[in-house]
Each structure stands twice: as C-alpha cells, then as structure tokens.
Amino acid sequence: ARELAAGLACDEPQWAIRDGAVRVPRLVRAQPAVSGVPAFGNGPVLVTGATGALGKLVARHLVSVHGVRELVLLSRRGLAA
C-alpha cells in the first residue's frame, strides 16, 4: 500500500512498482565503448524506424551479434506500419 501511494504521488505520467520500489522510465545516452565495440548496458535499446527494412535489420543485429535482450521498436508511420 505504501508503494502504491508513493507511485500515485510521484507526479509522473508513467510509473511501475518493481521489487517494492516505484520506478519511472528514463532514456539515457549510451556511453562510447573504450574498445570500439558498442556497449549497450543492461537496459532496453530504442530502435527508430523499426518497421522498415533497415530498422528490422538493425534490431536483428543487436539481438544476434550484441546480445541485446530488450528492444523498444518505434515506427515513424504509426499503426499503419
């Protein structure tokens, strides 16, 4: 009940309770990798234009080559895509 009250009072348009804590989504800039190989961390990766040919290719590459497990796929054309 305390977590629910905190979520309702947090003044954020989106929030969730995870592991007893109120969480809000945030986008953060990826840091350049020292080795020259991109490091995606352990959060979701945003792919814009994901319903186009190149976006699909990039999404597949991120999963198969870089081991990304969470993708946020964004279409510029909306539901029609």
Query: What SS3 state is found at 65?
Result: coil
Compute how many other C-beta atoms are within 10 angstroms of the C-beta atom of residue 76. Answer: 11
Tell me the whole-structure pTM to 2 decimals.
0.55
Tell me the per-residue pLDDT of 20-43, one tens digit each, with 9 for 90 and over: 888 898 888 877 767 766 677 778
Domain count of the fold of the chain: 1
Task: For residue 11, give its domain range.
Answer: 2-26+41-80
pLDDT score of 80 more than 70: no
pLDDT score of 79 more than 80: no
Q: Identify whether 34 is part of a domain.
A: no
At 71, the pLDDT band (50, 70, 90 cuts) reads: very high
Contacts of 53 (CB under 8 A, 6+ apart): none
Taking only Cα atoms into account, the Rg of the chain, rounded to an integer number of angstroms, comes to 16
Q: Identify whether 32 is part of a domain.
A: no
